Amino acid sequence: MFWQQLINGIALGSTYALIALGYTMVYGIIQLINFAHGEIYMVGAFAALVLVTVFKMSIFLAMVLAMVVCLLLGVIIEFVAYRPLRRSSRLSALISAIGVSTFLSTLVLLIFGADAKGFPDDVFPVVQMRIGAAEVSSLQLLIIGVSALLMLGLEFIVHHTKIGKAMRATSQDYTTAALMGVNVNLVISFTFALGSALAAAGGVLVGIYFNAVSFNMGLMAGLKAFAAAVLGGIGSIPGAMLGGVVLGVVEVLGVAAGYSSYKDAIAFAILVAVLMIKPTGLLGQKIQKKV
């Protein structure tokens, strides 16, 4: 049973990681806690749901289109709600993000209603496999695989491409990067586009995996992803993956040990405990304070 629970935990953790990756990347570049990220994830899931159920598209095509929708949405949100606040206090941008999040979830509630919706059962072929004493479904493997791939892809973009270099420069010093000829507006738009597309992919996968999409799924997912990102060291891409998986495994093992009523508390307790020992998270860089 332990192995089964471990697999449950890794799969759950991967769903957290899927959202946390985009979260942490946006944070890494412009130090914004993007509370609207969870809502973008929710919109992505709904976009795919409409494409699959109304337009009868295959799930893969729907996922790609949902990513495009959210990519645009992310860029628009950045342009409208964050860009005018780039030089103000970070809390102003945080409140703006909360405003966007309220706006989006209410909008989706008005359009789709309050009840959760599910993807059709046959949208993705689910096959159960046995590994030793545990059972794994093809969907679980897909989620684990996709999140790992996305992590590697993001790492590659940030560290080995030209735009990645520009992103890192912007993250280090916004003004200097601009002076050195980096088009920071473009870089930030790109970051949001990438992060939002990732969120949409996460939304679709998680939507299929749990088979439930609802207007209020973004908030809790966003919080857990935020926790996962901080646990791994916010701004660190492998950290988001690690943080997500650790959180998922800890939660599941807590339930397995018979503490299901304390599930959320266990996750946050681990988070706080890690921060006590390592104040910048598992893989976070040490903050050098300027004196």
Residues within window 105-134 making contact with other proteins, judged by CB under 8 A: 106-107, 109-110, 113-118, 121, 126, 128
b/e for 146-156, b at 16 or more Cβ within 10 A?
bbeebbeebbe
| Closer residue to other proteins in complex, CB, 4/189 | 4
| Closer residue to other proteins in complex, CB, 65/199 | 199
Other CB atoms closer than 10 Å to residue 91's CB: what's the count? 10
The C-alpha atoms of residue 249 and residue 230 are separated, in whole angstroms, by 16
| Closer residue to other proteins in complex, CB, 65/228 | 228
User: Which of 230, 242, 245, 282 is in the footprint of other proteins by CB under 8 A?
Assistant: 230
236 binds other proteins (CB under 8 A): no
The C-alpha atoms of residue 9 and residue 11 are separated, in whole angstroms, by 5
| Closer residue to other proteins in complex, CB, 111/180 | 111
Q: Which two tokens stand for residue 198?
A: 């990732």
User: Judged by CB under 8 A, which stretch of 52-60, 149-157, 167-175, 278-286 contacts other proteins?
Assistant: 278-286
Site for other proteins (CB under 8 A): how many residues?
84
The C-alpha atoms of residue 38 and residue 222 are separated, in whole angstroms, by 4
User: Which of 135, 141, 153, 155 is in the footprint of other proteins by CB under 8 A?
Assistant: 135
DSSP of 16-49: HHHHHHHHHHHHHHH----TTHHHHHHHHHHHHH
271 binds other proteins (CB under 8 A): yes
Positions 143 through 202 that interact with other proteins (CB under 8 A): none
In degrees and rounded to multiples of 5, residue 286 shows phi and psi of -70, 135
Positions 12 through 51 that interact with other proteins (CB under 8 A): 12, 15, 27, 33
For 279, the enclosing helix (H) or strand (E) is none
User: Judged by CB under 8 A, which stretch of 40-48, 174-182, 186-194, 268-276 contacts other proteins?
Assistant: 268-276
* Whether 2 contacts 210, CB under 8 Å: no
User: Which of 70, 88, 161, 208 is in the footprint of other proteins by CB under 8 A?
Assistant: 88
User: Judged by CB under 8 A, which stretch of 48-56, 101-109, 141-149, 178-186 contacts other proteins?
Assistant: 101-109
* Nearest approach, Cβ of residue 186 and other proteins (Å): 21
User: Which of 53, 92, 185, 189 is in the footprint of other proteins by CB under 8 A?
Assistant: 92
User: Judged by CB under 8 A, which stretch of 60-68, 156-164, 195-203, 253-261 contacts other proteins?
Assistant: 253-261
CA 24 to chain CA mean position, Å = 8
* Whether 224 contacts 247, CB under 8 Å: yes
Q: Identity (one letter) of the amino acid at 210?
A: F
* Whether 227 contacts 275, CB under 8 Å: no
Q: Where are the beta strands (DSSP E) in 41-192?
A: 128-131, 134-137
* Nearest approach, Cβ of residue 101 and other proteins (Å): 7
User: Which of 152, 161, 265, 285 is in the footprint of other proteins by CB under 8 A?
Assistant: 265
